[in-house]
């Protein structure tokens, strides 16, 4: 029963992420800028996470003057990912921006290889090859649908993958003894400060806050930064890390489906084949590399670093 509950909540958490592009696209359709959406989104995330952290009373155990700044700097990668990811959606279909951002999977493996000297296993290399093949089909290059799309959009999409992977890599190494909720709140503080610095000129245009902008930013914040940590906090400790990593890959098809149904973006059969190959590669890598261990720390998604697992609650 506990494992079923864990699976359900992890799926809910991953599924939430799949809806964030809908709200981002909605904001752009209302004429709001990338800066306006990011500013309001970060403020809402900041207020929600700190409120929940303080109400829950997780405390500041393990927090020192030396690790506060590194935690906040790590959080800056969240702000950069938000900027690049939603920025790509200004120029590309949401489905393509999602596929580009999802390249954080193999980029993270490369980062581990470079900085931690952890050489990828043969099954991991095979998974990377499959992911790249999947991207080739999922991007719909064969039908020529990428012609005419701004190069800037592709650059932003790939940059979001690199910053996303960097966040996962560093968040798994910085102040891991600090309670996940406290650490997450400090990270969102860093990303909020970064967004305000980058979009300082957009700050005056946010007020008075319009209803459509608030709804858009609240949707991105709730489905991207608030609800998923809560669902993962409940579900992830009840199942193995490898299974959680596999389950969270559901974010990709949900995001593509939501873009297809709600945003009316066309997704061809060839693209679905590519998406299936990407998901297969993720499952293959997890099953191949995690077979000997079942409580491996979660490293495929930033939210998993916020999970309330037994090792971090002591």
Q: Domain ranges in the chain? A: 2-301
Report the C-alpha gap between 103 and 93 in whole angstroms: 16
Is 9 within 8 Å of 234 (Cβ atoms)?
yes
Q: Tokens standing for 102? A: 């999802």
Between these two residues, 122 and 287, which has the higher pLDDT value?
Answer: 122
Q: What are the φ and ψ backbone dihedral angles of 208, each rounded to 5 degrees?
A: -65, 140
Q: In this model, does residue 21 exceed pLDDT 50?
A: yes
Residues 166-189 pLDDT 10s? 887 887 778 778 888 888 889 899
Overall residue count recorded for the chain in this entry: 314
- Per-residue tokens: 150: 């701004």
| Segment 37-83, tens digit of pLDDT | 999 999 999 999 999 888 888 778 888 888 899 989 988 998 899 99
Determine what percent of the chain falls in helix, strand and coil, rounding each to the nearest 5.
Answer: 75, 0, 25
Mean pLDDT for 124-153 is 79
Cis peptide before 87 (omega within 30 of 0): no
pLDDT of 201 higher than 90:
yes
pLDDT recorded at residue 146:
65
Confidence grade of residue 244 (pLDDT, cut at 50, 70, 90): low
Q: Is the pLDDT of residue 292 over 70?
A: no
């Amino acid at each position: 029963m506990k494992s079923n509950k864990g699976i359900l909540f992890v799926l809910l958490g991953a599924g939430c992420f799949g809806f964030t592009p809908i709200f981002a696209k909605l904001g752009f359709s209302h004429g709001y800028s990338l800066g306006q959406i990011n500013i309001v989104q970060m403020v809402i995330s900041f207020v929600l996470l700190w409120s929940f952290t303080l109400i829950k009373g997780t405390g500041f155990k393990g927090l020192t003057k030396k690790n506060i700044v590194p935690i906040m700097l790590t959080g800056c990668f969240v702000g950069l990912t938000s900027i690049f990811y939603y920025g790509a959606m200004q120029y590309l279909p949401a489905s393509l921006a999602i596929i580009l951002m999802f390249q954080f999977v193999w980029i993270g493996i490369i980062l581990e290889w470079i900085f931690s000297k952890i050489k990828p296993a043969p099954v991991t290399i095979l998974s990377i090859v499959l992911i790249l093949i999947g991207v080739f089909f999922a991007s719909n290059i064969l039908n020529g649908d990428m012609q005419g799309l701004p190069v800037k959009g592709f650059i932003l999409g790939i940059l979001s993958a690199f910053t996303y992977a960097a966040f996962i890599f560093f968040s798994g190494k910085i102040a891991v003894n600090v309670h996940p909720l406290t650490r997450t709140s400090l990270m969102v503080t860093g990303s909020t400060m970064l967004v305000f610095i980058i979009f300082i000129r957009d700050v005056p245009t946010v007020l008075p806050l319009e209803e459509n902008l608030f709804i858009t930013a609240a949707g991105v914040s709730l489905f991207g930064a608030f609800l998923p940590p809560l669902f993962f906090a409940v579900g992830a400790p009840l199942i193995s890390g490898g299974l959680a990593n596999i389950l969270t890959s559901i974010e990709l098809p949900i995001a593509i489906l939501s873009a297809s149904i709600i945003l009316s973006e066309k997704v061809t059969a060839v693209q679905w084949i590519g998406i299936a190959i990407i998901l297969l590669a993720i499952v293959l890598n997890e099953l191949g590399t995690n077979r000997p261990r079942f409580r491996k720390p979660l490293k495929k998604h930033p939210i998993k670093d916020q999970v309330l697992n037994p090792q971090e609650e002591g």
